[in-house]
Amino acid sequence: MTVAPDDRHRHRIVVVGGGAAGLELVTGLGDRLGKRGLADIALIERSRTHLWKPLLHSVAAGSTDPSEHQLNYLAQGHWHHFRYHFGEMIGLDRAAKMVRLGATYDEEGREIAAPRSIPYDTLVIAVGSVTNDFGTPGAAEFAVPLETAEQAVRFHHRLVNAGLRAQAQSEPIHPGQLHVAIIGAGATGTELAAELYQSAREMVAYGLDQVDPDRDIRIILIEGASRILPALPERISVATLAILTKMGVDVRINARVSAVRADGIQLASGEFIPAELTVWAAGVKGPDVLADLDGLAVNRANQLMTDATLRTTRDPDIFAIGDCAAVPRAGSDAPVPPRAQAAHQEASHLARQLKRRLRGLPLEPYVYHDFGSLVSFGRMGAIGNLMNLALGGNLFIEGVLARWAYRSLYKMHERALHGVTKTTLGTLARGLSRRAEPRVKLH
């Protein structure tokens, strides 16, 4: 195994994981420290491009073209003064301060880079989360997770192919042939259900005249808890259920999945729900590599345990942020929730703290601020609540205001990566291009 060359004269900060938290952090560090030669900044990431994770449900539904939103890591590193290492962390040597990377290969199986190690002085782990199917039989084989852009595109291709298959066949469409089952009615599952309801009907309108959307297409949203969106305020849950029911989405609560099959879902009650496509959106956990990362402590969800400064509990030179981190939350036994706003806050906080660390100053604790919860229904709007307002209290919002607030979350992420000018130009360009394209992606 080779060791990448290093510069002994500058502090080496390595960030593993280019999701929302990791990419915002490494971009900020590059602009603040790398550009001025105060530290060497590096990103380790197994993908070539970045797509904001909350967009995956709309990519799966076909209402968002991923190519319009993907960011190239190599280019971002060039523009923002950090080095991009294409590879996946497979281990860690804390004594030697080395991150171990596995070999990388192209689509034809040819090796791109051999196994190697990247040295660090300060390490930040931001590898996100993966789907937790809780060992449900058939889930790994037959249910599509929505962790990556590739998985979302794969699901959309299967959705379009199902419609084309139904259009081309001579026999009648059989029950379940154009049904989609979504397991888990959290934010991802709920938003996907709403977007699929709209995009499937728009797809039919482009010429699939053998398909009757009201008779043949069915979206089933399955939740094991007593209400959908169980982690959000009950008022949002009730309002969301009313909207989905009005759309025609089949919502099942208190429904525990006992098995996933190629042709549908088996419930613990004994009922079988036929479905052509199944999405698993019922839970997340830390990636498997974290379970045995040279002795770093993890919780039951396989998240790295940290203190209030975002340092891991067993190594002062290693930090963790984003969905893979169990960050203590003041006044609660539960850690900071794995949400986009938390990832953004942690990245911003740690960028400031690592600059203090280089100056030998003590680290300040991170305090999570919950600014509310928003649920999008695509072009049909959004609902949610805003918290910690200047006037105090909790404000329920819906309609245009809620839709604007939801979009502002993504704009905040874009500004952290590109700045105001490039974000504005990109938004205008996408708005113009969409006017010349179908409202739903058809391939």
Q: What is the pLDDT of residues 77-125, one digit of tens each?
A: 999 999 999 999 999 999 999 999 999 999 899 999 999 999 999 999 9
7 pLDDT above the threshold of 50: no
279 and 293 assigned to the same domain? no
User: Side-chain half-sphere of 421: how many Cα atoms within 13 Å?
Assistant: 0
Give me the pLDDT at residue 6, please: 47
428 burial (CB, 10 Å; 0-12 / 13-18 / 19+) is: exposed
DSSP secondary-structure letter at 306?
B
112 and 152 assigned to the same domain? no
Give me the pLDDT at residue 203, please: 83
336 and 395 assigned to the same domain? no
Domain assignment present for residue 366? The answer is: no
123 and 192 assigned to the same domain? no
Question: Which among 220, 250, 283 is the end of a domain?
Answer: 283
Query: Bigger pLDDT: 243 or 5?
Result: 243
Nearest one of 1, 22, 32 to 11, comparing CA atoms: 32
Average pLDDT, integer, range 425-438: 68
164 and 96 assigned to the same domain? no
Task: Give the CATH number of the domain where residue 338 resides.
Answer: 3.50.50.60
Question: Which among 358, 388, 417 is the end of a domain?
Answer: 358
406 and 309 assigned to the same domain? no
| Token output for 207 | 């010429």
157 and 191 assigned to the same domain? yes
Average pLDDT value for the chain: 90
Question: Which among 283, 300, 319 is the end of a domain?
Answer: 283
425 and 323 assigned to the same domain? no
Convert the pLDDT of each residue in 18-70 to its tens digit: 999 999 999 999 999 999 999 999 999 999 999 999 899 999 988 888 888 99
Domain assignment present for residue 59? The answer is: yes
Q: How confident is the model at residue 388 (pLDDT cuts 50, 70, 90)?
A: low
The domain total for the chain is 3
Task: Give the CATH number of the domain where residue 219 resides.
Answer: 3.50.50.100
Give me the pLDDT at residue 442, please: 52
Domain assignment present for residue 391? The answer is: yes
166 and 244 assigned to the same domain? yes
Domain assignment present for residue 18? The answer is: yes
Give me the pLDDT at residue 392, please: 55
Give me the pLDDT at residue 1, please: 46
Give me the pLDDT at residue 170, please: 86
238 pLDDT above the threshold of 60: yes
Output the pTM of the full model.
Answer: 0.90
Domain assignment present for residue 439? The answer is: no
122 and 14 assigned to the same domain? yes
3-state secondary structure of 130: strand
Domain assignment present for residue 441? The answer is: no
The whole-angstrom distance between residue 218's C-alpha and the CA centroid of its chain comes to 25
87 and 206 assigned to the same domain? no
168 and 238 assigned to the same domain? yes
Per-position DSSP letters for 345-367, written without gaps between them? HHHHHHHHHHHHHHTTPPPPPP-
Convert the pLDDT of each residue in 336-385 to its tens digit: 999 889 999 999 999 999 999 999 999 999 999 988 888 888 777 888 88
Domain assignment present for residue 367? The answer is: no
Residue 421 is part of which domain span?
A: 372-434
Domain assignment present for residue 363? The answer is: no
Helix axes 20-29, 399-418, angle to 10 degrees: 40
Average pLDDT, integer, range 375-401: 75
Convert the pLDDT of each residue in 312-343 to its tens digit: 999 999 999 999 999 999 888 889 999 889 99
Q: Beta strands 130-131 and 284-285: pairing type?
A: antiparallel
Cβ atoms of residues 346 and 339 within 8 Å: no
Q: How confident is the model at residue 3 (pLDDT cuts 50, 70, 90)?
A: very low
309 pLDDT above the threshold of 70: yes
Convert the pLDDT of each residue in 143-189 to its tens digit: 999 999 999 999 999 998 988 998 888 888 888 899 999 999 999 99
Convert the pLDDT of each residue in 244-257 to its tens digit: 999 999 999 999 99
Tell me the percentage of the chain whose pLDDT exceeds 90.
65
The whole-angstrom distance between residue 133's C-alpha and the CA centroid of its chain comes to 16
Convert the pLDDT of each residue in 227-236 to its tens digit: 999 988 899 9
DSSP secondary-structure letter at 298?
B
